[in-house]
Amino acid sequence: MDAPRPSTALFDVYLRLRPAPTPDTDRFLAVEHPPSADAHPTHITIRAPANDNRKRAVEKFAFTRVFEEGAGQRELFESTGILPLIEGVLGKEGREGRDGLVATLGVTGSGKSHTILGSKSQRGLTQLALDVLYHQTAPHLVETETSPAVFASLASADVSEAYLLPAGHFLDAMYSSGSSTESRGSTYSRATTPALVRETPSSYIHMHCPGAFPTIDSVVAASKRAAAAAARPSMAVFDRLTYPSLSKYHHHHHPPSPLSPHKPQPAPNLPPPPQDSSFISLPPQPPTSKRHPPRLSALPTHPSTADLATLPAPDPTAAYAILISIKPPPNPARRRPLLFKPTEHSPDRKVVAGLRKIVCTSLAHALLVLETGLQERRVAGTGTNAASSRSHGFFCVEVKKRLRATRTANEGPWSTATLTIVDLAGSERARTAKTAGATLAEAGKINESLMYLGQCMQMQADNATASTAGAAQGVNNGGVPQANLVPYRQCKLTELLFSNSFAREGGGGGVRARQQRGVMIVTADPWGDFNATGQILRYSALAREVTVARVASVTGAIVGGAARAASGMGTAGGGAGQEELEAALAALAALREEVEVAQMLLAEETRRRQAAELSWNVAELRCEAVEAEVREEVWGEFEARMAGEQRRWRAGRAAEMDAQDEHLDRKLELLTLGLDLERAGVWEDESAETEAGKENVAPAESHFYSEDLSPSNTGKHRHHTSHHDIDIDIDIDIDMSTTEGAKTADSPAAAHLRARNSLLAREMLQLEDANRALRERLAKAEQPQQQRSPSKKMRVLKTASRGWAGSGVGLDDC
Ligand SMILES: Nc1ncnc2c1ncn2[C@@H]1O[C@H](COP(=O)(O)OP(=O)(O)OP(=O)(O)O)[C@@H](O)[C@H]1O
């Protein structure tokens, strides 16, 4: 069985074994060493301890690499791909960084916290990662403790509704003047944390340092005020928000701690430091409002990262800022679920809203903030592990990056990549752990979230195996292996861990470039709980194989009994009969073993099927909910559009009818006018004087009036209009001489006539305009019909020529 090395994997999975607490006991887990001395082990096998009579199958698991009991923190740090993760977070030159995830998973007491956070004498992966990060970015870090403008730019670039604080500010607010208290111990142990009953830091801050937390708004406002006060030194305002040097957290008897061999720490030249040792070393104390800062020199400095062979390279063209996120301690009375927010890059990329983000400009600051964060993590002792972590711990190191200002260009916008380090709470069996009440309920939740995590990991392992098998057989689906969806949205834990691994940004081809890469370190105690460890190994391993164990004792007993029976039967059967019997018994034993393995496989498959059914049901419910939501949304939009269309159509129709009415009114008005004139006898008289041969007008046409406006007084103006089913021909033939005659006569009738004439002339012009517009509309309406059918075209032409025939106005005039 080879360990698949999938290219599409969410993360590499490493196994770390912890040293034996009592080495002389039997271990159930064995490491398979590869034949070559240079190669690292990748496989382990587990077999049930002797006292477990139920299962006899041997299970074999494959991991990216197995670290045996002797492996130290430094070896783990160097060999688990964390350095490339850090390089990814820093980002290549001119490019944004990529998120990285380091997580530990294992049964309670198997060494997760030891791996991630270290112990009193050894640094964990988190401290080592911070050391490398600060060492590599030191020349490129922006100064936020003293520069309000830079701090404000960071604050305004954060989209997660976080509270940004400079580290000095934060630490001072957390550990204000309690420095005169006596030393109460010197042992550093995280195990004492659960018993500490103190004010939560946030309540302390609000009670004792009102306004001490600068919100984004207050810092931005402060920076604006500072910029505006040009006469004063611009630092004046920010000084009030700036906090004392880190060196006050050093013990005066100790030299500055060489936390990072690469970067000297500030000298301890401040007021007499507290006699107290690190707050994490305190035995249980009565409630008090004072807290004491961790003593920097008490924090472990081993192992060092000074002589690492390869270090991640930062972007030389960029400026960096490093922020450490801390979730404010929850109010037990009003526990709220984590609030996720999509980021500016993609709705899939989620961040937790409402965190405190501490801008740390040095490793020492970062370590102090980390220690402070650890205090806020809820730890409650259980029967299994006295220092058991009863919550999943997330340590998020945000690396902000922007292009530095040059002579030709200003600095670019801040981009963010996050290194998330996760110490998952241990899975445990309630019976073993002897938990009760709220702690038992919490354990149930933790186990549930770990179950969902297990499903995701199994799915990823299956995908990876399928992809490797597909690649080996050259079978693929258009170059893309068919992968099952990893159900990471089932719970907050898996969403937090993996939403960035699947985030699609922008919809373009290069969207996967920023997807998160991860490292999962599974911890196991080879002498611990066989069942619980086996369960975790089953869902976390990259591959698994079940083989039959030799059940020599049982088979031997059967064979021995059979042989005795055979010999008791006398010598009649002879040697041949006995051999036959032995062979039959051996076959029987082999069949029994097969049945047992088949039963185990069946049980495993049943469990997986049930898990798959569960996720299927959840997915179906989600689909239904989404479908209903989409339906409702589409229906609402459709109805709104329909109503809009109806409104528009009604308005258009009303306007059209108004235009028609107006047109008809005007025609009627003209008709009435013409009739009036006719009645007055003007037209009859004048028509007698008009020249002979004047064109007759078709009876169907309306002959309203004629007016001769030509200079020679002999011209006539004809007007034809057609609107829908109404055809109107207007002949205007006004004899100006008559008008002149009338003018000369200067009778009331002549004056009336003149007035009428000029009114008519105006009306005629308006009518002409309306007529022209109508003709254009008619022509447009007829055009498609003419194009469609030649016969129709002819019909239209005929109709048109008939319509214009009597008026003397050619089609070209239309
Ligand atoms: N590789 C190791 N080397 C030395 N000591 C170890 C190692 N791993 C674990 N231990 C010790 O085992 C004990 C339990 O380890 P740890 O607290 O890290 O377990 P855990 O898996 O985090 O447990 P929980 O899930 O309950 O928090 C600690 O005292 C720790 O120092």
Tens digit of pLDDT for each residue in 595-637? 877 887 888 788 888 888 888 888 888 888 899 999 999 999 9
Q: How deeply is 321 buried, as exposed, middle or buried, from its count of CB atoms within 10 A (0-12, 13-18, 19+)?
A: buried
Q: Cα of 15 to ligand 1 centre, how many Å?
A: 14
Query: Between residues 146 and 653, which one has the greater pLDDT?
Result: 653
Is the CB of residue 188 less than 8 Å from the CB of residue 281?
yes
Q: State the sign of the Cα–Cα–Cα–Cα dihedral 466, 467, 470, 472.
A: negative
Q: What pLDDT does 580 receive?
A: 83
Mean pLDDT of 324-341: 63
Measured distance CA(78)–CA(519) in Å, rounded: 12
Weakest-pLDDT range from 66-75, 103-112, 510-519? 510-519
**Which residue is listed with tokens 């937390």?**
213
Compute the distance from residue 528 Cα to the ligand 1 centre, in Å. 12
Is the pLDDT at 645 greater than 90? The verdict is yes
Which residues, in sequence order, are CB contacts of 548 under 8 Å at separation 6+?
56, 57, 58, 593, 594, 596, 597
190 Cα to the center of ligand 1, angstroms:
11
Q: Identify the pLDDT of residue 796.
A: 52
**What was the pLDDT predicted at 756?**
83
Return the domain boundaries, the chain: 1-69+460-472+512-549, 75-426, 552-627, 681-742+768-813
DSSP, residue by residue, 702-722 = --------STTS---EEEEEE
* pTM of the model as a whole: 0.57
Distance 118 CA to ligand 1 centre (A): 9
- Cα 476 to Cα 481: distance, rounded to the nearest angstrom: 5
What percent of the chain lies above the pLDDT cut of 90? 14
> Tell me: the pLDDT tens digits for 163-183?
788 888 888 877 765 433 333
**Closest by CA position to 549, among listed 52, 32, 26, 47:** 47
**Mean pLDDT, all residues of the chain:** 68
Angstrom distance (rounded) from CA 710 to CA 707: 9
Asked if the model's pLDDT at residue 723 lies above 70, the reply is no
Residue 216 has pLDDT above 70, yes or no: no
Pocket test for ligand 1, best of 69, 113, 117 (most atoms within 8 A of CB): 113
Mutate to test the pocket of ligand 1, among 18, 390, 453 (most ligand atoms within 8 A of CB): 18
Asked if this assembly's ipTM is beyond 0.95, the reply is yes
Q: For ligand 1, what atom is nearest to the CA of residue 21?
A: 12
Q: What pLDDT does 293 receive?
A: 63
Distance (angstroms) between ligand 1 centre and the Cα of 109 equals 5
The residue whose CA has the least distance to atom 11 of ligand 1 is 111
Query: How far does the centroid of ligand 1 lie from the alpha carbon of residue 16, in Å?
Result: 11
pLDDT at 71: 92
Interval between CA 30 and ligand 1 midpoint (Å):
20
User: Which tokens hold the place of 184?
Assistant: 């109460």
Residues contacting ligand 1 via CB (< 6 Å): 18-19, 106, 108-114, 119, 385, 387-389, 425-426, 523
